[in-house]
Copies of this chain bind each other. A is one copy, B any other.
Amino acid sequence: MSGQASDKPVLRIRIDFPDRPSLGPGKIRLLEEIEAAGSIAAAARGMGMSYRRAWLLVDELNSMFAGPLVATQLGGARGGGAVVTPAGHQVIAHYRRVETEAGRATADLLAGLDQAEPE
């Protein structure tokens, strides 16, 4: 779940809430994969995650904010499809913005840490 490769240290973030489960790179990537794949099962496969675990994470995500982040369609023509809701898009964008701002604010510090490499 470390995202794209980089030749420099990359800051990953997790947001801990006082009253809810955490929001970290795994859940955000799952949302993005659901968006791309159109179903929870396909997203889980793409991430090498069990369907059950993906479903539990979606259930958790859907209880964390004012409305659900993923809407599922049981049966029907597309059988078992899932879409990311507007609230879900907002959460993804918000998280990625926090990540970008945090990375920007600490880029120089991170470069300094990287220089302490093994000999």
What 0/1 pattern do residues 75 to 105 of A give for CB contact below 8 A with B?
0000000000001001100110110011111
Within 8 A of B (CB), among A10-69: 10-18, 20, 22-24, 63-66
Chain A at the B interface: SS class: mixed
Please list the residues of chain A having a beta carbon within 8 angstroms of any beta carbon in chain B.
Answer: 2, 5-18, 20, 22-24, 63-66, 87, 90-91, 94-95, 97-98, 101-106, 109-110, 112-114, 116-119
User: Could you list 28 examples of A-B contacts with CB < 8 Å?
Assistant: A2-B22, A5-B18, A6-B18, A9-B17, A10-B15, A10-B16, A11-B15, A11-B98, A11-B102, A12-B16, A12-B24, A13-B102, A14-B14, A15-B110, A17-B114, A64-B118, A65-B116, A66-B118, A87-B116, A91-B113, A91-B116, A94-B109, A94-B112, A95-B113, A98-B106, A101-B105, A101-B109, A102-B106
